[in-house]
Amino acid sequence: MTAKTIDGKVIAAELRARVADEVARVKREHNLVPGLAVVLVGSDPASEVYVRSKHTQTQAAGMASFEHKLPADVSQADLLALVAKLNRDPAVHGILVQLPLPKGLDTEAVVNAIDPAKDVDGLHPNNAGRLAGGFEALSPCTPLGCIILTKSVHASLEGMNAIVIGRSNLVGRPLVQLLLNENATVTIAHSRSRDLPGLVRRADLVYAAVGKSEMVRGDWLKPGATVIDVGINRIPKDDGKTRLVGDVAYQEALAVAGAITPVPGGVGQMTVACLLVNTLRAACAIAGLPKPAV
Ligand code: NDP
């Protein structure tokens, strides 16, 4: 058996097209132009790539994109002042402060300063709490993408056994909540879990969000399982360059799984597309409009 590849590129492109349609509609019907502000502090090369891609895709969807670049030695007070200004700006409906922040800045204080209504990264405690309580919330983009990818394979996740490996605020924890909302039965695994292979073997849905190259082996998987690989790990090649691998041993998993996301070309593609969804949803909510059809 060879697993079906879940093509994040195609699914993300479809989602971006649906967002663009809805953006055009709210512009036409309500004169509303959703706006996303991205704040980049310092010059981490990976973060710069992400921010550029967010800017391009935001504009391509017909939304306004505002970029704010601050030096790595910006003071906490100046960063908080920018967040406060963006909170007040009526053209801005989504605020994303690119993480990780340089050392010396208090990430928690910055995230907490973002207006929860504009918190398109879904990291503000109000949104995390609302999500955990089963209420309507802006949810983190990567977990949202994981759910959309899973639903490209399974129309309903009801009653399925899912395992989420990793419990970060950015990925693992919100993903667990979103899976519960889909009525899946969820196991949360982490670095202290015992017999991880045994836990994974029971799962119909496997989400690996660990940050360890190819940690999940093919023989851990239940035959036919759907595998969503969130991990992005850079490993050195013979020519001195690096290549990306996920948290799942892809070639091994292909022979056992029913469906699997590749790295790259899987979850990573969905994250920015879901950021556009969140910005559109935030703009509609702030303007008092019904939830858009994406
Ligand atoms: P974190 O480092 O914040 O969390 C990693 C989690 O993995 C922790 O909960 C940790 O457990 C757990 N873990 C570590 N080692 C093991 C182990 N041996 N067995 C089981 N669990 C383990 O990472 P993130 O959640 O931020 O990111 C996870 C991965 O996803 C990374 O590779 C990251 O690059 C990638 N990522 C990809 C995105 C995308 O768009 N595709 C977006 C965001 C992240 P404990 O809590 O006990 O320490």
Q: Is 142 in the pocket of ligand 1 (CB under 6 A)?
A: yes
Q: Is 145 in the pocket of ligand 1 (CB under 6 A)?
A: no
Confidence of residue 115 (pLDDT cuts 50, 70, 90): very high
Confidence of residue 97 (pLDDT cuts 50, 70, 90): very high
- The count of other CB atoms within 10 Å of the CB of residue 155 is 7
pLDDT above 80: residue 17: yes
Best residue among 210, 233, 245, 267 to mutate for probing ligand 1, ranked by most atoms within 8 Å of CB: 210
For the chain, the maximum distance between any two Cα atoms, rounded to a whole number of angstroms, is 57
Separation CA 275–CA 34 (nearest Å)? 12
Q: In the prediction, which pLDDT does 121 show?
A: 97
Q: In the prediction, which pLDDT does 46 show?
A: 87
CA 259 centroid distance within chain: 20
| Rg (the chain; Cα; Å) | 19
Residue 231 CA: nearest ligand 1 atom is: 32
- Catalytic: 85? no
pLDDT digits (tens, 9 = 90+) for 178-205: 999 999 999 999 999 999 999 999 999 9
> Top-level CATH class of 31-115?
alpha beta
Closest protein CA for atom 42 of ligand 1: 142
What is the fold, at CATH topology level, of the domain defined by 141-269?
Rossmann fold (3.40.50)
The predicted model gives 2-27 an average pLDDT of: 98
- Catalytic: 98? yes
pLDDT above 80: residue 103: yes
Locate 144 and state its tokens.
Answer: 């949202």
What are 130-135's contacts with CB under 8 Å, separation 24+? 131/174, 131/177, 131/178, 132/177, 134/177, 134/180, 134/181
pLDDT above 80: residue 168: yes
* Distance in Å, CA 24 to ligand 1 centroid: 37
- % of residues, the chain, pLDDT over 70: 100
Locate 33 and state its tokens.
Answer: 């132009």
- Catalytic: 121? yes
Beta strands in 92-216 (DSSP E): 94-97, 161-165, 185-189, 205-208
Separation CA 61–CA 273 (nearest Å)? 10
Strand partners, 65: 36
Q: Is 212 in the pocket of ligand 1 (CB under 6 A)?
A: yes
From 121, 204, 229, 247, the catalytic residue: 121
pLDDT above 80: residue 1: no
Best residue among 49, 50, 191 to mutate for probing ligand 1, ranked by most atoms within 8 Å of CB: 191
pLDDT digits (tens, 9 = 90+) for 226-239: 999 999 999 999 99
* Distance in Å, CA 230 to ligand 1 centroid: 8
The answer to whether the 31-115 and 141-269 domains have the same CATH topology is: yes
* Distance in Å, CA 99 to ligand 1 centroid: 14
Domain ranges of the chain: 31-115, 141-269
pLDDT above 80: residue 145: yes
